């Protein structure tokens, strides 16, 4: 309840004018969030209010950030801003960077080996020989792939390489032939090179170079999207000693075991303990060996023989030749994927925390394994109070995936749409549901942007023209009283929507209706419009859009003008011209209505 009381700065008290106000007004509301742990909306009560402790799974930095990342991090940014700037909580937001991972090792080695191969400038004949050799295992890999979408993608690569080889065989050979074949065969060739030469790589700096590059790009993308930086940023590479200590505690309590230099979590032992339950988020996924294998990583395919049971997962991986390694009581190795988040979250936030966020695809096995690790380490039956998962993102109705190579990077998206438009699109969809990134979705976002912007410009023009001093205070007629009532109702309705698991689509609909009601008031107003009342409405809408992160500056009303000058100075220059344009449009509208009326008289 403390949080909702803090939010009352956004809510007008019901007045006698607003006879339509629901008797259960916004002051009786409480914030509820959809909790993936219980699969229902629950009252949000932090462990130590007004502080909220929050851990968010960050990116694995081996490639450019894409719209799937934007789906998660814009979503969590909106939720974070609402809890902080609307409900008044002090949010301690922690995010990790995964810079040790099988994907990173594979990508760094493949890039390094392909670059070296290319720099040696192979002849076309030797390149053709190598590509044919590389194509055989890659074709077999495509044949064995169980995911139909991924198999189709791999087969497409095979066909592209074969087509390029045929074209080279029938056309005049040149340097362009080498370049085109290297481009077409990059995936099978780098796979082949890694299988032969990967274990012989001794330059371990290639892994850090890759992760540092893409971490920097990720932060730049987040800044471009107006996503607030984390209060605390943790990197796995900086937490290896803490990971080792954490694993030792789990081993000491009997919930993990060493095998051939690796350490595995004993799922059977944990599940049989009276105070523990495995897979709290997705219990129906227990036994999904495909998901478990994906969680173990590409370089751990041969580890099943080391496990006591198929569901056991790696806490510590013994490193093989050509892989980065750190010392441990079990020998040289590196952390498993799941352990890192448990360790870093607990190190910063303690044994228990309020919120854990991540994409819906992380529920199982990643988040379920995190929960098991933390509960095993501390002997508790609850680690996080709330798990909030952002929904999937599709591209025009189709699944998006890096492994399918059909993703749109954030930079590519920002070439077509502004960060404001992308955020509006996300606000118009439930944060926990699937969002389809399509032309229709972006058209709706652009409509909202245009609607708000035109209303803000209209209000600014009225404010510029209104009398100064006491003459600016006009008596309220019934129409102004009704409009004031609509503002009060809108504040309460938006508040109720945000209390209902931060229902931003409903909040945006209410705000849209408030703009429409205000525009009707303006269009039907025969005398002078009440600029002060409209200013109150525009200020409220601006404040809410700022809470949502749509507006990033401190402008009292409306969107800032994109310029090197200050917004206020630019408005002083531009507003007179906008006013002339608005007056012209109004004259045209009135003339059209007059002509329409005359036509109706003639028809009559």
Strand partners, 394: 399, 436
Nearest residue to 500 (alpha-carbon basis) of 184, 7, 33, 88: 33
pLDDT of 601 strictly over 80:
no
Nearest residue to 431 (alpha-carbon basis) of 34, 144, 154: 34
> Do 263 and 316 contact (CB within 8 A), yes or no?
yes
Identify whether 479 is part of a domain: yes
Q: How many other C-beta atoms are found inside a 10 Å radius of the C-beta of residue 290?
A: 9
Beta strands in 408-453 (DSSP E): 435-437
Residue reference for tokens 């709290």? 280
Nearest residue to 89 (alpha-carbon basis) of 18, 187, 2, 176: 2
The span from the first CA to the last CA of the chain, in angstroms, equals: 62
What are the backbone angles phi and psi of residue 434, rounded to the nearest 5°? -70, 135
| 460 CB-side CA count, 13 A | 27
Asked which of 201, 228, 245 is the last residue of a domain, the reply is 201
Relative to beta strand 393-395, strand 435-437 is: parallel
Query: Which pTM was predicted?
Result: 0.89
Nearest residue to 184 (alpha-carbon basis) of 140, 144, 138, 145: 138
Identify whether 386 is part of a domain: no
> Do 87 and 31 contact (CB within 8 A), yes or no?
yes
pLDDT of 530 strictly over 80:
yes
Instruction: Choose between 13 and 172: higher pLDDT.
Output: 172
> Do 515 and 541 contact (CB within 8 A), yes or no?
yes
Eight-state DSSP code of residue 476: P
Confidence of residue 487 (pLDDT cuts 50, 70, 90): very high
Distance CA 45, CA 352 (A): 14
CATH number of residue 443's parent domain:
1.10.730
pLDDT of 492 strictly over 90:
yes
Residue reference for tokens 């006491």? 470
Identify whether 548 is part of a domain: yes
What Cα–Cα distance (Å) separates residue 161 from each residue in 140, 155, 174, 403, 431?
Answer: 15, 10, 17, 18, 41
The mean pLDDT value for 167-183 works out to 84
> Percent of the chain at pLDDT above 70?
86
> Do 400 and 67 contact (CB within 8 A), yes or no?
yes
Distance CA 277, CA 333 (A): 29
pLDDT of 170 strictly over 90:
no
Given this model, what pLDDT does residue 469 score? Answer: 73
The mean pLDDT value for 462-477 works out to 78
Q: Which residues of 150-168 are buried (b: 16+ CB within 10 A; e: fewer)?
A: eeebbeebbeebbebbeeb
What are the backbone angles phi and psi of residue 22, rounded to the nearest 5°? -65, 145
Eight-state DSSP code of residue 328: -
The mean pLDDT value for 160-186 works out to 88
Distance CA 333, CA 328 (A): 7
Give the structural domain span for 534: 439-593
> Percent of the chain at pLDDT above 90?
75
> Do 431 and 75 contact (CB within 8 A), yes or no?
yes
Identify whether 64 is part of a domain: no
What Cα–Cα distance (Å) separates residue 461 from each residue in 12, 103, 111, 265?
Answer: 25, 55, 57, 66
| Structural domain count of the chain | 2
pLDDT of 14 strictly over 60:
no
> Do 273 and 281 contact (CB within 8 A), yes or no?
no
Rounded mean pLDDT of the chain?
89
Distance CA 499, CA 62 (A): 38
Identify whether 22 is part of a domain: no
Distance CA 507, CA 541 (A): 11
* Full 3-state SS string of 60-110: ECCCCCEHHHHHHHHHHHHHHHHHHHHCCCEEEEEEEEECCCHHHHHHHHH
> Do 194 and 109 contact (CB within 8 A), yes or no?
yes
pLDDT of 7 strictly over 60:
no
Asked which of 201, 234, 254 is the last residue of a domain, the reply is 201
pLDDT of 104 strictly over 50:
yes
In tens, the pLDDT along 332-365 reads 999 999 999 999 999 999 999 999 999 999 999 9
In tens, the pLDDT along 240-280 reads 999 999 999 999 999 999 999 999 999 999 999 999 999 99
Residue by residue, DSSP assigns 390-419 as EPPEEETTEE--TTTT---BHHHHHHHS-H
Confidence of residue 119 (pLDDT cuts 50, 70, 90): very high
> Do 210 and 104 contact (CB within 8 A), yes or no?
yes
Radius of gyration of the chain, Cα coordinates, nearest whole angstrom: 29
Q: How many other C-beta atoms are found inside a 10 Å radius of the C-beta of residue 129?
A: 12
Eight-state DSSP code of residue 367: I
Distance CA 575, CA 567 (A): 11
Eight-state DSSP code of residue 561: P
Distance CA 445, CA 194 (A): 45
Identify whether 83 is part of a domain: no
Given this model, what pLDDT does residue 432 score? Answer: 98
Confidence of residue 10 (pLDDT cuts 50, 70, 90): low
Residue reference for tokens 């799941």? 338
Relative to beta strand 393-395, strand 398-399 is: antiparallel
Residue by residue, DSSP assigns 510-554 as HHHHHHHHHHHHHHH--S---HHHHHHHHHHHHHHHHHTTS--S-
Give the helix/strand (H/E) hosting 337. Answer: helix 337-349
Given this model, what pLDDT does residue 555 score? Answer: 83
pLDDT of 45 strictly over 60:
yes
Q: 16-30, 219-233, 270-284, 557-571: lowest mean pLDDT where?
A: 16-30
Distance CA 32, CA 82 (A): 13
Identify whether 343 is part of a domain: no
Phi-psi category of residue 558: left, alpha or beta, with phi > 0 → left and psi -120 to 50 → alpha: left
Identify whether 566 is part of a domain: yes
């Amino acid at each position: 309840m403390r949080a909702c009381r803090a939010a009352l700065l956004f809510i007008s008290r019901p007045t006698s004018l607003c006879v339509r106000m629901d008797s259960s007004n916004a002051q009786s509301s409480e914030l509820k969030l959809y909790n993936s742990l219980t699969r229902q909306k629950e009252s949000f009560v932090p462990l130590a209010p007004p502080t909220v402790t929050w851990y968010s799974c960050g990116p694995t930095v081996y490639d450019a950030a894409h719209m799937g990342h934007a789906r998660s991090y814009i979503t969590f940014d909106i939720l974070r801003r609402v809890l902080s700037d609307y409900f008044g909580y002090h949010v301690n937001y922690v995010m990790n960077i995964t810079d040790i991972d099988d994907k990173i090792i594979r990508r760094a080695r493949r890039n390094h080996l392909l670059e070296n191969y290319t720099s040696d400038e192979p002849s076309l004949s030797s390149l053709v020989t190598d590509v044919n050799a590389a194509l055989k295992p890659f074709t077999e890999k495509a044949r064995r792939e169980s995911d139909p979408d991924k198999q189709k993608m791999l087969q497409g690569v095979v066909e592209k390489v074969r087509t390029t080889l045929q074209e080279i065989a029938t056309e005049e050979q040149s340097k362009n032939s080498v370049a085109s074949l290297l481009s077409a065969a990059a995936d099978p060739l780098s796979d082949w090179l890694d299988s032969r030469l990967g274990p012989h790589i001794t330059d371990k700096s290639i892994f850090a170079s890759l992760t540092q590059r893409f971490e920097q790009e990720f932060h730049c993308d987040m800044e471009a999207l107006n996503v607030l930086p984390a209060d605390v940023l943790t990197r796995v590479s900086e937490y290896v000693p803490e990971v080792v200590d954490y694993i030792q505690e789990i081993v000491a309590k009997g919930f993990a075991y060493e095998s051939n230099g690796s350490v595995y979590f004993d799922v059977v032992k944990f599940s049989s303990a009276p105070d523990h339950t495995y897979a709290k988020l997705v219990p129906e996924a227990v036994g999904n060996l495909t998901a478990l294998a994906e969680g173990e990583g590409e370089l751990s395919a041969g580890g099943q023989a080391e496990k006591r049971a198929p569901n056991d997962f790696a806490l510590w991986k013994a490193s093989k030749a050509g892989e980065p390694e750190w010392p441990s009581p079990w020998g040289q190795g590196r952390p498993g994927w799941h352990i890192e988040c448990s360790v870093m979250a607990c190190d910063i936030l303690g044994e228990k925390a309020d919120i854990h966020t991540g994409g819906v695809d992380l529920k199982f096995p990643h988040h379920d394994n995190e929960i098991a690790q933390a509960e095993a380490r501390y002997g508790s039956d609850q680690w996080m109070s709330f798990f909030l998962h952002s929904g999937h993102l599709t591209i025009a109705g189709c699944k998006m995936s890096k492994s399918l190579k059909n993703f749109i990077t954030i930079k590519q998206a920002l070439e077509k749409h502004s960060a404001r438009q992308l955020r509006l699109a996300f606000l118009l969809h439930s944060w926990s549901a699937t969002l389809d990134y399509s032309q229709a979705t972006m058209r709706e976002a652009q409509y909202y942007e245009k609607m708000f912007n035109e209303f803000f410009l209209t209000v600014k023009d009225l404010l510029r023209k209104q009398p100064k001093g006491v003459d600016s205070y006009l008596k309220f007629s019934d129409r102004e009283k009704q409009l004031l009532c609509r503002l009060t109702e809108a504040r309460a309705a938006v508040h109720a929507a945000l209390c209902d698991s931060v229902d931003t689509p409903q909040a945006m609909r209410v705000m849209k209706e408030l703009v429409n009601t205000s525009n009707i008031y303006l269009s039907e107003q025969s005398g002078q419009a009440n600029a002060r009342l409209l200013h109150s409405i525009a200020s409220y809408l601006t404040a809410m859009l700022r809470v949502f992160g749509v507006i990033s500056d401190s402008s009292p009303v409306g969107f800032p003008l994109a310029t090197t000058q200050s917004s206020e100075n630019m408005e002083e220059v531009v507003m007179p011209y906008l006013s002339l344009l608005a007056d012209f449009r109004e004259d045209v509208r009135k003339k059209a209505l007059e002509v329409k009326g005359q036509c109706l008289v003639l028809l009559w």
